[in-house]
Amino acid sequence: MEIDLSARRALIAGASRGIGLAIAKALAAAGADVAICARRSGPLQAAYAALQVFNHRVSARPCDLAQADEVRDWVAAAAHDLGGIDILINNASGFGRSDDEAGWAVSVQVDLMAAVRASHAALPHLEKQGGSIVNISSTSAMHACVRTPPYGAVKAALVHYTRTQAALLAAKHIRVNCIAPGSIFFEGGTWDVARQHDTALYERTLARIPSGRYGTPEEVASVATFLVSEHASWVTGQTIAVDGGQNL
């Protein structure tokens, strides 16, 4: 399946590494101009350099996605840099682990409210010609999540919000879908850390994946690229698990 995103302008929130960066690379490889943000300047600049090889417009700006004003300012600046918005990928996660005020606060502000705020800010641009929003949730949204209660619950809220967004925006020719990745391995990521420091958790999780391995960011990126393309022109309000059967 050949996907051409030439002249499309894509914003990816939280894209300095892992799934976000893989999505940015995949969209750029398909011809899109891309704008990314991240909180830390070092990884952000490294991601910017990696995206330059695709010879399309690239915007990379720092943004703390837990801060409402910074989210809105980033969307406005990115839209200016690219000349508009056709695609929005809400990827960032604060990964709230602890069932306390701090764990819930970071999950709500980054995993949920950043997506809400970025969507609201992008809407005036998307309304001009239609477009696509993809929210990145998790298979943790689909079952009890005793190890990370805030993370699972808030990712479930994002799945629900995706359906609501899709219903609200369909008449404006804006499609909204969601991806629920399973356990995705990349250098410096959660499962790389577990492999080095919590071998029992790493091996126990691996044993529960029917496909026998962890997923890759690129496998999530391939689904995201499909969802924002014309090949998915009548797909909206859906959540697609990319998990090698893990949630089964």
Instruction: Tell me which residues are annotated as active site.
Output: 151
Q: Where are the alpha helices (DSSP H) in the chain?
A: 18-29, 41-52, 68-82, 101-106, 114-129, 149-169, 190-197, 199-207, 217-227
Name the one residue in this structure whose structure tokens are 């995201």. Answer: 224
Question: What does the alpha-carbon distance between residue 220 and residue 128 come to, in Å, rounded to a whole number?
Answer: 28
| Residue 70 tokens, joined | 């910074």
Question: What does the alpha-carbon distance between residue 188 and residue 32 come to, in Å, rounded to a whole number?
Answer: 27
Q: Which residues of 96-114 are buried (b: 16+ CB within 10 A; e: fewer)?
A: bbeeeeebbebbbbbbbbb
Question: What does the alpha-carbon distance between residue 26 and residue 110 come to, in Å, rounded to a whole number?
Answer: 23
φ and ψ at residue 185, rounded to 5 degrees? -100, 130
Question: What does the alpha-carbon distance between residue 49 and residue 60 come to, in Å, rounded to a whole number?
Answer: 10
Count of CB atoms situated within 10 Å of the CB of 32: 28
Comparing CA positions, the residue from 125, 32, 30, 31 lying closest to residue 72 is 125
